[in-house]
Amino acid sequence: MKIALAQQNYHIGNFEKNTEKIIGAIGEAKRLGADLVVFSELCICGYPPRDFVEFEDFIAECYLAIERVAAHADGIGVIVGSPMRNDAPRGKSLFNAAWLLYEKKVRGVSHKTCLPTYDVFDEYRYFEPGYQWSTIEFKGKKIALTICEDIWNLGDNPLYRSCPMDELIKQSPDLMINISASPFDYDHDEDRVEVIRRNVLKYKLPMFYCNAVGSQTEIVFDGGSLVFDSAGNVTRGLKYFEEDFAIVELEAAFAKKSIAKDAADALVPLDKEMRVAKVNDPERIIEYLTAEGNIRQIHKALIVGIKDYFAKMGFSQAILGSSGGIDSAVTLVLACEALGKENVHAILMPSPYSTSHSVEDAETLSKNLGNPYEIIPIKNIYESFLSTLKPVFKDSPFGIAEENIQSRARGNLLMAIANKFGYILLNTSNKSELATGYGTLYGDMAGGLSVVGDLYKMQVYALARYLNLHRRVIPQNILTKAPSAELRPEQKDSDSLPSYEILDKVLYQYIEKRQGPKEIVSMGIDPVLVKRILRLVNANEYKRNQFCPIIRVSCKAFGVGRRVPIVGKYLT
C-alpha cells in the first residue's frame, strides 16, 4: 500500500481555498499511484478555528467542504480533519474528528480523545472528548487513527485519563496514522520526534504523522511530518516551515530488525540532556536561548509568521519606525526578507534627544537593504505638544510624560501613514521590554503585528548576528552601542532596567519555566533584584493586554497562551 502525506498551509475559514488545496493534493496522489492520502488536523476549516465553531453556519460549511472533497475520493482513500457534530444528548455539540473518505463516502471517523487546554490550546472549550475507540479498516489493513495530542499520552501523562492507543492496540492494528496541528516553538520539535518514536517503540507499529505548516496570526506551524518504521527509525521526513508532499510504501515501514523494549530511553538525544542542563543552570540560560540552532529555527518561523499574516489578511506592504536600534533593525531585515524590500517602508523620526549616529545607522541600514525610507523629525510636533500642555503642566520638571509624548508622536505619524496608504505597522518591541513594561502605550507599543515580541533582548542580538553571517546588512554600530530609547539626554536602558544578561535569565525562569521568586533566588540571583523584576512583570499586564498579536516562537509567549489577571496582587 502506498500512503501519501500532504503537508499544507491552510487559512482559517477559507473553505474554498482549503478545499482546492486538498483536492489538488488528492489529484497528485492519484497520479503517483497512492492508495491513501493523509492531511492534517482540522484541515477543512484551518486550525485553530476557536469561537468560529460556535456558529452553526461555520460547521455547515465544514460539512459541505467534506462533501466536495469526498467527490474526489474515488479510487483513493482520503483522511482529513474537520469538526463533527455530536448527536449524543449530553456533552459538547462537536468532536474534533479525523474522517476517512473512500469511494465518495465516509468510511470511518475517529474522535480526538486528549483535548489540550493549556498555553495556546483551548480545545475542551469547544469539543467533546472521544470515548469510543475503533480501528478503521482500509484495503485489508487496520488503521489506528489518532489526532495530534492523542499520541502525547502514552499512559503516563497526568493531564489525561485515557490513552487512545492503549485501547486501539487491543484491536491489533497494522499501522498508526496521526494527523496533527502541532505548533512550533524553539525546543518543541525534538520533543515531538521523541514522542512519536516512543509510540512506535511501545506499540511496535509504523507511524505516519502529518503535521500542519504555516502561520495563523500568532501561532506558527513548522510541518516536519514524519514516517517511522516499526523499529523506531525515521524513514521519511518532510520539510520544515514549507509545504511538502511525499509517498511512502507501507511495507517499507515494517522494519526487519526490532529494538529492545527499553530502547526508548537510549534514543533521547544528548543535546536534549544538554538543554535541560542549560535551562536549569543560570550561567547557561543565555547560552541556550541564543544557541545558533534555536536562532536558525526562530528566523524561519518569523519569516513564515510575517508572510502568512500579510498574505492571509490581504496586505502586501509594511511600515515601521526605524530608530537605529537593534530591535527595529532586526525587524526591518526580517520584513524585507519576508515581504520584499520594496514593500517595507522605514520611517526615521529623530527627536531633540536622538543622537546623530542613530539617524546615520538607520539610514545606512536602509541603504544596505535597499528599502524605501523617509526622515520625519518630530521636534516641532514635540514642542507644539509642550506648548499646548504648558498651562496644565505649569513649571513641573521634565519627566516620563515628556518622554512619552515623543513616543506617541511617532506612533501617530506611523499610523497616519499606514492608514493613508494601506500599510500594516510592524511593532518592534522585544520580550524583555514587554515583560517589564518598558514601552509607551499608543507610542512604541503601537502596531498590527509584533515581530520580535517573543524574543528576549539577548536573543534579538543573537538573531542580528545570525542575519549578518552571509551579508553584513546591520551596521556594526547598531550591534555594539548601548541600547537607549533616546527620550532624554544621555539616556540608556540600563538607567531603568537591570543588565539584559541578568534580566533575561530571570524573565525566562519566571515566564517560560514558571518558577517563583524563591526558586529563582536559589539560583544565586540577588533577591532584591528578583523581587523588582517580578513586580515589573506583573504590574505591567495592563499594557500587554492592549498589545498587538505577537509571533510565537517560545513555549510561553505573551498573548493568548499566557492569561494572568490585570488587577492581581501577586508579586506586585
| Catalytically annotated residues | 41, 112, 148
Are 266 and 272 contacting, i.e. CB atoms less than 8 angstroms apart?
A: no
Are 176 and 199 contacting, i.e. CB atoms less than 8 angstroms apart?
A: yes
Nearest alpha carbon to residue 147 among 79, 87, 193: 79
Nearest alpha carbon to residue 215 among 90, 348, 87, 305: 305
The radius of gyration of the chain's CA atoms, rounded to the nearest angstrom, is: 26
Q: What is the arrangement of strands in the sheet containing 94-102, beginning at the earlier edge strand? A: 105-111, 94-102, 77-85, 36-38, 2-7, 244-249
- Element at 19 (helix H, strand E): helix 15-31
**C-alpha span between 405 and 568 (Å, rounded):** 29
Residue holding cell 476557536? 50
Give me the torsion for CA of 474, 333, 48, 150, rounded to 10°.
Answer: -50
Residues 6 or more apart whose Cβ sits within 8 Å of residue 281: none
For residue 323 the three cell numbers come to: 530608530
**C-alpha span between 72 and 309 (Å, rounded):** 30
**C-alpha span between 505 and 507 (Å, rounded):** 6
Which amino acid, 63? Y
For residue 465 the three cell numbers come to: 548576528
3 strand-pairing partners: 36, 248
**C-alpha span between 113 and 97 (Å, rounded):** 10
Which amino acid, 201? L
**C-alpha span between 348 and 355 (Å, rounded):** 12
Residue holding cell 539577548? 458
DSSP 435-495: HHT-S-TTTTT--SEESSTTS-HHHHHHHHHHHTSSS--S-HHHHHSPP---SSTT--GGG
For 26-93, strand residue ranges (E) read: 36-38, 77-85
Are 46 and 18 contacting, i.e. CB atoms less than 8 angstroms apart?
A: yes
Give the burial class of 142: count Cβ atoms within 10 A of its Cβ; 0-12 exposed, 13-18 middle, 19 or more buried.
middle
DSSP 223-271: B--EEE-TTS-EEEEPPBSS-EEEEEEGGGGS-SS---TTHHHHTS-HH
